[in-house]
Amino acid sequence: MRIDILTLFPDMLTGPLDASIVGRARESGLLEVHVHDIRDWTRDKHNKVDDRPFGGGPGMVMMCQPLHDAVLAVEDKDPRRTHRMLLSPQGRRLTQDHVESLARQERLLLIAGHYEGIDERVIDALEPEEVSIGDYVLSGGELPALVLVDTIARLLPGALGHDDSAAEDSFSITDDDGTPLLDTPHYTRPRVWDNREVPEVLLSGDHGAIATWRREQQRQRTQQRRPDLREDPKD
Ligand SMILES: C[S@@+](CC[C@H](N)C(=O)[O-])C[C@H]1O[C@@H](n2cnc3c(N)ncnc32)[C@H](O)[C@@H]1O
């Protein structure tokens, strides 16, 4: 899979893309990620990529031309069809279901906005899918783009140690009726820490009893912490 990220702040992305699961997926060739500086496509003699908003108001707005040219040029670098995405607090809120469908794409192009946002006309022209990582506002789309890359990378077959371990995570685990569940609590050595003991069943070696206990924990946690998952499984 190939992911291209278009940004005005490429330095914000380099470290995280080289580390951990994303870094390993890139090294092993499972995932190709390319970061592009939108400023490289400006035709302004002062390298301008943003300007003051028409109608007044605070902040700056990213201009149409550099972003538009950048998208077309980057798309031309590879024959695979791109699915264009814009990180935006006004987009559809990201869910695990959505990430799973994105992980099946051959190629994604992620646009990170900055400042007050992007001139609406270039969004209309490019028609990206708009995605939000939550109901709060960040300074730019770089961290949301990293969130997207990370969530996708760990779903690529072979990216995690065990192929099915992503299926054991919150939201991917489902109850018998298809409701997404939160993960069970986890414990490791020592058996007693700070006078707190590991639940006895996990030390029993009885795999059936352990599976039953874990399923019960998942149900209880989901009920206590995210009852909305049962009410509206797709939200
Ligand atoms: C300061 S924000 C602009 C917010 C915009 N004025 C609004 O109120 O909708 C700058 C950029 O950060 C990114 N961004 C901010 N919050 C985000 C979120 N929750 N999810 C995805 N991207 C976000 C977007 O790319 C956005 O263009």
Q: Are residues 174 and 140 in the same domain?
A: no
Residue nearest to atom 6 of ligand 1 (CA): 116
Q: Are residues 148 and 205 in the same domain?
A: no
Q: How far apart are the CA of 98 and the centre of ligand 1, in A?
A: 19
Contact 119, 93 (CB under 8 A): no
Contact 6, 38 (CB under 8 A): yes
Instruction: Look over the chain and give the mean of its residue pLDDT values, rounded to a whole number.
Output: 96
Say whether both 81 and 124 belong to one domain: yes
164 within domain boundaries: no
- List the beta strands (DSSP E) in 57-162: 61-62, 83-93, 107-112, 117-118, 129-132
What average pLDDT score do residues 108-123 get? 97
CATH number at residue 178: 1.10.1270.20
pLDDT at 188 over 80: yes
pLDDT of residue 199: 98
Number of compact structural domains in the chain:
2
User: Is 188 found in the same domain as 84?
Assistant: no
2 belongs to the catalytic site: no
Would residue 105 count as lying in a domain? yes
User: Rounded to whole angstroms, how far apart are CA atoms 53 and 46?
Assistant: 18
CA atoms within 13 A on the CB side of 24: 9
For the stretch 56-71, pLDDT in tens is 999 999 999 999 999 9
Same domain (yes/no): 8, 104: yes
Write down the pLDDT at residue 142.
Answer: 98
At residue 231, the pLDDT reads: 83
139 in a domain, yes or no?
yes
Q: Is 130 a catalytic residue?
A: no
For 13-58, how does the pLDDT look when each residue is reduced to its tens digit (9 = 90+)?
A: 999 999 999 999 999 999 999 999 999 999 999 999 999 999 999 9
Per DSSP, the chain holds a count of helices (H) and strands (E) of 8, 10
Report, as an integer, the average pLDDT of 165-185.
94
In a domain, 163, yes or no: no
Sign of CA dihedral 105, 109, 115, 121: negative
The pTM of the full predicted model, rounded to 2 decimals, is: 0.95
49 and 123 both lie in a single domain: yes
Domain shared by 103 and 208, yes or no = no
Neighbours of 136 (CB within 10 A): 7
Q: How far is the CA of 222 from the centre of ligand 1 (A)?
A: 30
Residue 233 has pLDDT above 70, yes or no: no
Decide if 169 is catalytic. Answer: yes
Out of 50, 154, 180, 214, the active site residue is: 154
- 91 and 181 in a single domain? The answer is no
Q: How sure is the predictor about 11, in pLDDT bands with cuts at 50, 70 and 90? A: very high
Dump pLDDT digits (tens) for 189-213: 999 999 999 999 999 999 999 999 9
CA distance 210 to 202: 6
Which H helix or E strand runs over 126? helix 120-126
Parent domain of 205: 169-231
**Does ligand 1 come within 6 angstroms of the Cβ of 101?**
no
For residue 124, give the CATH number of its domain. Answer: 3.40.1280.10
Q: Could you give the CA distance from residue 83 to residue 229 in angstroms, rounded to a whole number?
A: 28
Indicate whether 158 belongs to any domain.
no
Cα 131–chain centre separation: 9
